[in-house]
């Protein structure tokens, strides 16, 4: 498992990896900026430029206050949302990462059968939804667990990342049912690899590399569990 991660880390300089990192971050920033634009537009639509209050007089700063407040809120949420959003976009670009891994380490394999774009988009949206909902529900556990909150965070996200990334990597060659069967047989190793991916989520900037490293690591893990031999 650690060897799978080190192989992925050793290929991080690959231009195909860097391209996916850049695209994932840019698309994520674009989406977050779009969400903020919609929020700011709604504030401007529903909150008047000025109104008069008894004993106070004309108030003309509420919409500006709400707009700046919503910007600060989005900046705060972006720390929480960036990784799951980037992971969802990376799911769309998984084929590029997996293809780069296989070209370098498993050159003798036949061509994979990547998901159609429509199916990949639906799978990525489902992945994003699962991660966001699970983390929102786990907020209660984070609060109750006090100093152990990071361990809870790693456990929740380790399980989710392991399950989803392995499924996406395996589906390229085994299909949905075959991938699920292999995942059930090796659930312990997959969870442990997910924990390895979840730990860097706590580190700013480093966590932006997690989606690509996860896709590459689980491509290696899949081939190892499937019995595919890597080139020397």
For 108-136, the three-class secondary structure string (H helix, E strand, C coil) is CCCCCCCCCHHHHHHHHHHHHHHHHHHHH
How far apart (Å, rounded) are the C-alpha atoms in residues 160 and 131? 7
204: nearest Cα among 86, 36, 80, 121: 80
25: nearest Cα among 210, 219, 214, 218: 210
Residue 127: pLDDT above 80?
no
Residue 115: pLDDT above 70?
no
pLDDT value at residue 45: 65
Q: For the segment 164-200, what is each residue's pLDDT rounded down to a tens digit?
A: 888 888 888 888 888 889 999 999 999 999 888 887 7
Residue 130: pLDDT above 60?
yes
How far apart (Å, rounded) are the C-alpha atoms in residues 212 and 228? 21
Higher pLDDT, 206 or 168: 168
pTM (predicted TM-score) = 0.73
Instruction: Enter the DSSP assignment of 203.
Output: S
Of 17-31, 37-51, 150-164, where does mean pLDDT reach its minimum?
37-51
Q: For the segment 84-113, what is each residue's pLDDT rounded down to a tens digit?
A: 666 666 666 777 888 888 888 888 888 777
53: helix, strand or coil: strand
The helices-and-strands tally (H runs, E runs) of the chain is 8, 2
How far apart (Å, rounded) are the C-alpha atoms in residues 118 and 225? 28
pLDDT value at residue 228: 76
């Amino acid at each position: 498992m650690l060897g799978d991660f080190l192989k992925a880390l050793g290929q991080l300089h690959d231009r195909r990896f860097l391209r996916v990192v850049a695209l994932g971050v840019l698309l994520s920033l674009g989406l977050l900026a779009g969400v903020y634009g919609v929020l700011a537009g709604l504030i401007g639509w529903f909150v008047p430029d000025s109104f008069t209050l008894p004993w106070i007089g004309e108030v003309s700063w509420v919409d500006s206050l709400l707009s700046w407040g919503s910007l600060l809120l989005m900046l705060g949420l972006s720390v929480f949302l960036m990784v799951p959003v980037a992971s969802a976009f990376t799911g769309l670009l998984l084929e590029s990462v997996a293809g780069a891994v296989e070209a370098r380490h498993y050159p003798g394999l036949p061509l994979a059968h990547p998901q159609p774009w429509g199916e990949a988009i639906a799978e990525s949206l489902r992945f994003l939804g699962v991660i966001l909902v699970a983390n929102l529900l786990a907020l209660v556990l984070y609060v109750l667990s006090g100093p152990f909150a990071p361990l809870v965070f790693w456990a929740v996200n380790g399980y989710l990342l392991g399950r989803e990334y392995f499924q996406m990597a395996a589906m390229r060659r085994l299909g949905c049912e075959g991938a699920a069967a292999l995942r059930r047989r090796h659930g312990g190793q997959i969870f442990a690899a997910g924990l390895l991916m979840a730990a860097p989520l706590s580190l700013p900037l480093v966590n932006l590399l997690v989606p690509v490293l996860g896709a590459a690591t689980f491509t290696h893990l899949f081939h190892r569990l499937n019995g595919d031999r890597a080139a020397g």
